């Protein structure tokens, strides 16, 4: 569907109205106290028929503006209705001024405008059809259950702790006062820590004192709950395979050596994930419906003009492993 998505782009008007100012630079404070959060005054509520903006001779009501907001990208609508209301109004003013001037110059009577308007209209209509197909695509229970049965491992979640011992070359920052360890030194330290834990050492206390992942270390090594694809392969393989409650041997990744302890491992039920599966399958169902429309419609393309058909895409790789995703690591202060 990538080619279709490229064609069904937002109109220039929507892009103009959705523009937002760049974020302001964060301020730096040396205070250890949490600053009070500034609260912006809530935007005023007015009756829909109230004229809230006048540009030249054109009057725009609150209902008109709300309707315009409904047509901009969903991810910026809430901002346009709240903290970004003034910015949105400024964008509408700029748009209306340019439209009024274009009409004074009779640009809407030109053939170039008419041709582009016709193309944009078809583009918008095709986009609305795709959104309609996507919204109405609903896989049946047999399809979603079959997907669940084939991908049960994707819905297993692990709650784990770890202690990280970094070595030279690790992307994890060196803690203040700690010396750079070679690979061999880091492994020896990790093995020593594991022995202390196996002999009854407190995981929480040792993680706080020794872990080079200061983010999780400050919480006793707690990584929270995560599913497949969240950690680098070496870490994930062990976290999803060792018995619950058992300590792993030191596990090497690009970050250092990890000692992992899985606290819980559980599989989400079909009922819990059915809605997510439906949402995941909808784009593929929509793609197939669009492909069916193409197959049912007579199309003749002159090869002398368009060239030969493109070769079919290569089959996706089925090799082992997932795209590495960085595990939690210390955040710079």
Would the pLDDT of 138 be above 80?
yes
Residues 77 and 184 in one domain: no
Q: Average pLDDT in the 279-298 region?
A: 94
Residues 116 and 181 in one domain: no
Residue 62 included in any domain: yes
Q: Which of 241, 217, 78 is nearest to 161 (CA)?
A: 217
Residue 180, pLDDT score = 95
Would the pLDDT of 34 be above 90?
no
In whole angstroms, what is the distance from residue 151 CA to residue 147 CA?
6
In whole angstroms, what is the distance from residue 172 CA to residue 19 CA?
37
Residue 318 included in any domain: no
State what percent of residues in the chain have pLDDT above 70: 81
Close Cβ partners of 223 (under 8 Å, ≥ 6 residues apart) = 159, 160, 161, 162, 216, 327, 328
Residues 80 and 118 in one domain: yes
How many residues comprise the chain? 333
Mean pLDDT is lowest, of 41-50, 141-150, 193-202, 233-242, for: 41-50
Residue 125 included in any domain: yes
Report H helices in 59-109.
62-70, 74-81, 85-104
Q: How many domains does the chain contain in total?
A: 2
Contacts by 220-226 with C-beta closer than 8 Å and gap 24+?
220/161, 221/161, 221/162, 221/163, 221/261, 222/161, 223/159, 223/160, 223/161, 223/162, 223/327, 223/328, 224/159, 225/157, 225/158, 225/159, 225/264, 226/157, 226/158, 226/160
Residues 185 and 104 in one domain: no
Residue 147 included in any domain: no
Residues 10 and 120 in one domain: yes
Residue 322, pLDDT score = 41
Residue 320 included in any domain: no
Name the helix (H) or strand (E) containing 165.
strand 156-165
Residues 54 and 167 in one domain: no
pLDDT in tens, 203-244: 999 999 999 999 999 999 999 999 988 999 999 999 999 999
- Of 219, 246, 267, the residue at which a domain comes to its end is 267
Residues 231 and 187 in one domain: yes
pLDDT in tens, 17-30: 656 544 443 332 22
Residue 28 included in any domain: no
Residue 74, pLDDT score = 87
- Of 244, 267, 290, the residue at which a domain comes to its end is 267
Residues 125 and 13 in one domain: yes
DSSP notation for 260-274: EEEEEEEEPPHHHHH
Residue 289 included in any domain: no
Q: Average pLDDT in the 93-102 region?
A: 96
Q: Average pLDDT in the 68-87 region?
A: 92
Would the pLDDT of 330 be above 50?
no
Residues 130 and 177 in one domain: no
Residue 40, pLDDT score = 55
Q: Average pLDDT in the 182-191 region?
A: 97
Would the pLDDT of 38 be above 50?
no
Residue 176 included in any domain: yes
Residue 31, pLDDT score = 29
What tokens appear for 32 in the block?
């250890």
Residues 66 and 112 in one domain: yes
- Of 74, 105, 135, the residue at which a domain comes to its end is 135
Name the residue with higher pLDDT: 15 or 51: 51
Residue 43, pLDDT score = 74
Burial 245-281, CB ≥16 within 10 A → b, else e: eebbebbbbebbbbbbbbeebeeeebeebbeebbeeb
Name the residue with higher pLDDT: 148 or 22: 148
Q: Average pLDDT in the 189-203 region?
A: 97
Residue 3, pLDDT score = 37
Residues 122 and 163 in one domain: no
Name the residue with higher pLDDT: 253 or 333: 253
pLDDT bracket for residue 127 (50, 70, 90): very high
Residue 36, pLDDT score = 40
Residue 197, pLDDT score = 97
Residues 194 and 260 in one domain: yes
Give the CATH number for residue 233: 3.10.50.40
Residue 17, pLDDT score = 63
Residue-range definition of the domain harbouring residue 58: 2-18+46-135
State what percent of residues in the chain have pLDDT above 90: 75
């Amino acid at each position: 569907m990538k080619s279709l998505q490229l064609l069904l782009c937002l109109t220039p008007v929507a892009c103009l109205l959705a523009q937002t100012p760049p974020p302001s630079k964060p301020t730096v404070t040396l205070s250890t106290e949490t600053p009070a959060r500034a609260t912006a005054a809530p935007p005023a509520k007015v009756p829909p028929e109230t004229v809230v903006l006048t540009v030249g001779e054109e009057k725009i009501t609150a209902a008109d503006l709300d309707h315009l907001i409904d047509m901009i990208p969903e991810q910026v609508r809430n901002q346009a209705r709240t903290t970004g209301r003034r910015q949105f109004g400024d964008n509408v003013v700029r748009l209306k001024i340019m439209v009024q001037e274009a009409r004074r110059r009779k640009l809407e009577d030109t053939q170039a405008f008419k041709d582009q308007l016709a193309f944009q209209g078809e583009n918008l209509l095709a986009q609305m059809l795709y959104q309609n197909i996507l919204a109405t695509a609903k896989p049946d229970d047999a399809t979603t259950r079959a997907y669940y049965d084939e991908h049960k491992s994707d819905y297993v979640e692990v709650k784990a702790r770890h202690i990280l011992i970094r070595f030279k070359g690790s992307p994890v920052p060196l803690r203040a006062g700690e010396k750079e360890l070679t690979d061999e030194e880091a492994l020896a330290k990790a093995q020593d820590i594991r022995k202390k834990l196996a002999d009854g050492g407190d995981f929480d206390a040792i993680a706080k004192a020794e872990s080079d992942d200061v983010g999780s270390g400050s919480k006793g090594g707690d990584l929270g709950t995560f599913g497949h694809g969240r950690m680098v392969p070496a870490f994930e393989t062990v976290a999803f395979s060792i018995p619950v409650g058992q300590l792993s041997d030191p596990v090497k990744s690009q970050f250092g050596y990890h000692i992992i302890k899985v606290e819980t491992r559980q599989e989400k039920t079909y009922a819990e994930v059915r809605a997510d599966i439906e949402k995941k399958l909808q784009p593929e169902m929509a793609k197939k419906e669009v492909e069916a429309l193409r197959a049912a419609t007579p199309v003749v393309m002159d090869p002398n003009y368009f060239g030969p058909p493109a070769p079919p895409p290569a089959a996706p790789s089925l090799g082992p492993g997932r795209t590495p995703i960085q595990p939690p690591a210390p955040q710079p202060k």
